[in-house]
């Protein structure tokens, strides 16, 4: 499975740049590391570090290249390694601030796999060009930012036969996989309605921010030392760097505590040009269970039915989006071959939630409250409630039950057969998700490395050794990105045709393909 073709090696030699201090680098694995996968990391701190570090720590991969538009992140990554008591001198590893130069040198560096943990608008440009060199890619969620990129990504991955894993790490949880089997058993009867919600955004979004950006016009702030702003922008439209927010920005300003600057290092998520908002950030996690368990597949239409803080530059402060998924035939589990009805899925962000009346059994036992984040799947015979972002805490209540019971404890769920290979990681002891579950995602990274080596089980749902390979993440992302377009056109029902890659409205079609700046085509 590992690509070591002479063609890709020669391609890398054609455009060698200065790789590291002194210009010294290795063009082939040493004998000691010959069995390790040669890994390049694009985006090296934050989510980037938590993506590449477990792969290196496992002993299955060696780090041969680093890339980050912000050169100051290198010292931070070195310090983080020290905190983890891991001996690796990053100064000896080729480092790039422009991903194009890294891609030019992948051949000479014998790169075999790559983690891509950048702002969303850089995912497709890097991953697609890497895949064209036969490089396997681990791409953080959302896989890409636009529907055009999604189709291009899908075609490229299939043409070059590379391994892909999207970074919705909850996919590795045994609890999520088990609850998927429970749903695929038909235990809930016919399912026609799903509710998914998140407390995100916890970064700046909305019209207040958009108005501030517009008020600045072409007047920017000094670019911080070490930041390659040109490379950070990548294919996006040119614009000035904007630093710290002013103190009088409006009612939402006091909630913007994660990072002070408008775009870098984290606040890009709310930008229509750089990110995909709360929907793109979290739906890859929170829609994971219903998408897999109900085999949702093709989305037919979307409508943003509620919005607050709408603008053309920044995603909203909060919204509700209604998606319709088509009728389909079950392919997996007990229901294989059965006709499944169309499903209406309601997405809520900005701390909007389904009303307690929609989930009366849970609300009655919890003071009329709804979990802060989660997913609620309603069938004719009962309901499933996921009370976290990743599928670590799932419960079921059949119609005859008085309350929800953990999926591992419910008697009816216990007798459901197993058909999805498990990774062997237990449910979190405290039954919580997110920050409290440090290390829970490591299996997702190891699964990617094992797949490259042709090891591990082949999943029926993806025909791959990765549980979030393209047969899963492409159709899941399609529905999410259709929803993101709906957020930009509130109040309009958008009908989507996957075959033609078009909406029925010109204003929506104008949002299918991204702007690609000269010099950054891919």
What contacts 445, CB < 8 A, 6 or more positions away?
Answer: 51, 54, 55, 58, 138
The three state secondary structure string of 310-373 is CCCCECCCEEEEEEEECCEECCCCCCCCCEECCEEEEEEECCCCCCHHHCHHHHHHCCCCCCCC
Q: What is the pLDDT of residues 258-269, one digit of tens each?
A: 777 899 988 999
pLDDT of 24 strictly over 60 = no
3-class DSSP state of 297: coil
Half-sphere exposure of 136 (CA within 13 A, CB side): 27
Q: Are 316 and 310 in contact (CB under 8 A)?
A: yes
**pLDDT at residue 266, as a whole number:** 86
CA distances from 501 to 298, 328, 425, 496 (A): 12, 20, 39, 7
Instruction: For residues 108 and 15, give the distance between their C-alpha atoms in angstroms, rounded to a whole number.
Output: 9
CATH 3.40.50.720 domain locations along the chain: 6-168
Tokens of 133: 């060199």
Helix (H), strand (E) at residue 447: helix 442-452
Instruction: For residues 383 and 377, give the distance between their C-alpha atoms in angstroms, rounded to a whole number.
Output: 5
Runs of H (alpha helix) within 132-249? 147-160, 174-184, 207-216, 229-233
Tokens of 461: 């749902």
pLDDT of 15 strictly over 80 = no
Which homologous superfamily does the CATH classification assign to the domain defined by 171-202+276-509?
Dihydrodipicolinate Reductase; domain 2 (3.30.360.10)
Average pLDDT over residues 15-31: 41
pLDDT of 424 strictly over 80 = no
**pLDDT at residue 71, as a whole number:** 98
pLDDT > 70 in the chain, percent: 89
CATH topology of domain 6-168: Rossmann fold (3.40.50)
Give the sign of the dihedral formed by CA 466, CA 377, CA 316, CA 245. Answer: negative
CATH 3.30.360.10 domain locations along the chain: 171-202+276-509
Q: Are strands 374-379 and 382-386 parallel, antiparallel or unpaired?
A: antiparallel
pLDDT of 26 strictly over 50 = no
Instruction: For residues 289 and 271, give the distance between their C-alpha atoms in angstroms, rounded to a whole number.
Output: 27
Position 440 confidence tier, pLDDT thresholds 50, 70, 90? low
CA distances from 277 to 196, 266, 280, 310 (A): 15, 12, 6, 12
Give the sign of the dihedral formed by CA 258, CA 263, CA 266, CA 268. Answer: positive
**pLDDT at residue 142, as a whole number:** 98
Of 5-9, 45-49, 455-459, 498-502, which range is least confident?
Answer: 5-9
Order across the sheet with 113-116: list the strands.
95-96, 61-67, 37-42, 113-116, 136-140, 164-167
Alpha carbon 239 to its chain's center: 26
CA distances from 156 to 260, 362, 519 (A): 37, 45, 20
Q: Is 87 exposed, middle or buried (CB count within 10 Å of its CB: 0-12, 13-18, 19+)?
A: exposed
Identify the residue with better confidence: 511 or 35: 511
Q: What is the pLDDT of residues 175-203, one digit of tens each?
A: 899 999 999 999 999 999 999 999 999 89
Task: Select from 363, 420, 412 the least CA-distant residue to 387.
Answer: 363
pLDDT of 34 strictly over 90 = no
pLDDT of 420 strictly over 70 = yes
**pLDDT at residue 392, as a whole number:** 87
Average pLDDT over residues 379-406: 95
Identify the residue with better confidence: 433 or 470: 470
Instruction: For residues 287 and 124, give the distance between their C-alpha atoms in angstroms, rounded to a whole number.
Output: 22
Angle at 368 between CA 359 and CA 384, to 5 degrees: 25
Average pLDDT over residues 282-290: 97
Helix (H), strand (E) at residue 484: helix 470-488
Alpha carbon 127 to its chain's center: 13
pLDDT of 39 strictly over 50 = yes
Beta bridge partners of 344: 193, 324
3-class DSSP state of 82: helix
């Amino acid at each position: 499975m590992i690509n070591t073709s002479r063609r890709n090696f020669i391609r890398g030699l054609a455009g060698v740049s200065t790789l590291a201090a002194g210009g010294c680098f290795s063009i082939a694995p040493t004998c000691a590391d010959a069995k390790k996968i040669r890994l390049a990391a694009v985006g090296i701190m934050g989510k980037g570090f938590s993506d590449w570090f477990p792969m290196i720590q496992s002993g299955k991969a060696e780090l041969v290249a680093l890339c980050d538009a912000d050169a100051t992140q290198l010292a931070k990554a070195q310090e983080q390694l020290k905190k983890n008591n891991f001996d690796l001198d990053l100064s000896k590893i080729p480092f790039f601030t422009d991903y194009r130069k890294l891609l030019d040198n992948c051949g000479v560096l014998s790169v075999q796999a790559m983690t891509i943990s950048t702002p969303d608008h850089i995912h497709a440009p890097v991953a697609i060009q890497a895949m064209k060199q036969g490089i396997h890619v681990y791409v953080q969620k959302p896989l890409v930012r636009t529907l055009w990129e999604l189709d291009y990504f899908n075609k490229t991955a299939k043409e070059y036969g590379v391994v892909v894993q999207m970074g919705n790490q909850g996919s590795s949880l045994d609890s999520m996989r088990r609850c998927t089997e429970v749903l695929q058993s038909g235990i809930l009867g016919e399912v026609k309605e799903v509710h998914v919600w998140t407390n995100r955004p916890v970064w700046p979004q909305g019209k207040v921010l958009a108005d501030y950006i517009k008020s600045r016009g072409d007047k920017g702030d000094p670019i911080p030392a070490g930041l390659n702003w040109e490379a950070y922008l990548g294919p996006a439209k040119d614009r000035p760097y904007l630093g710290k927010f002013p103190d009088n920005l409006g009612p939402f300003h006091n909630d913007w505590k994660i990072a002070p600057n408008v775009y870098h290092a984290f606040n890009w998520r709310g930008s229509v040009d750089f990110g995909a908002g709360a929907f793109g950030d979290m739906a890859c996690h929170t829609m994971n269970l219903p998408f897999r368990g109900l085999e949702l597949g093709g989305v037919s239409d979307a409508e943003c039915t509620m919005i607050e803080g709408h603008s053309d530059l920044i995603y909203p402060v909060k919204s509700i989006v209604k998606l319709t998924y088509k009728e389909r035939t079950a392919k997996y589990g007990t229901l294989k071959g059965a006709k499944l009805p169309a499903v209406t899925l309601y997405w809520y962000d900005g701390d909007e939630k389904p009303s307690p009346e929609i989930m009366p059994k849970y609300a009655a036992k919890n003071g009329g409250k709804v979990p802060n984040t989660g997913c609620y799947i309603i069938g004719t015979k009962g309901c499933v409630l996921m009370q976290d972002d990743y599928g670590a805490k799932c419960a079921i209540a059949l119609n005859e039950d008085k309350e929800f019971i953990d999926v591992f404890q419910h008697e009816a769920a216990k007798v459901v057969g197993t058909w999805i290979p498990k990774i062997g990681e237990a449910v979190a002891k405290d039954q919580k998700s997110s920050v409290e579950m440090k290390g829970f995602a490591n299996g997702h990274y190891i699964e990617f490395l094992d797949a490259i080596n042709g090891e591990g089980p082949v999943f029926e749902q993806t025909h791959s050794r990765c549980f979030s390979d393209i047969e899963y993440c492409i159709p899941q992302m399609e529905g999410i990105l259709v929803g993101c377009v709906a957020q930009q056109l509130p109040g309009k029902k958008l009908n989507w045709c996957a075959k033609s890659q078009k909406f029925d409205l010109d204003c929506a079609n104008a949002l299918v393909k991204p702007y690609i700046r000269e010099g950054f085509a891919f």
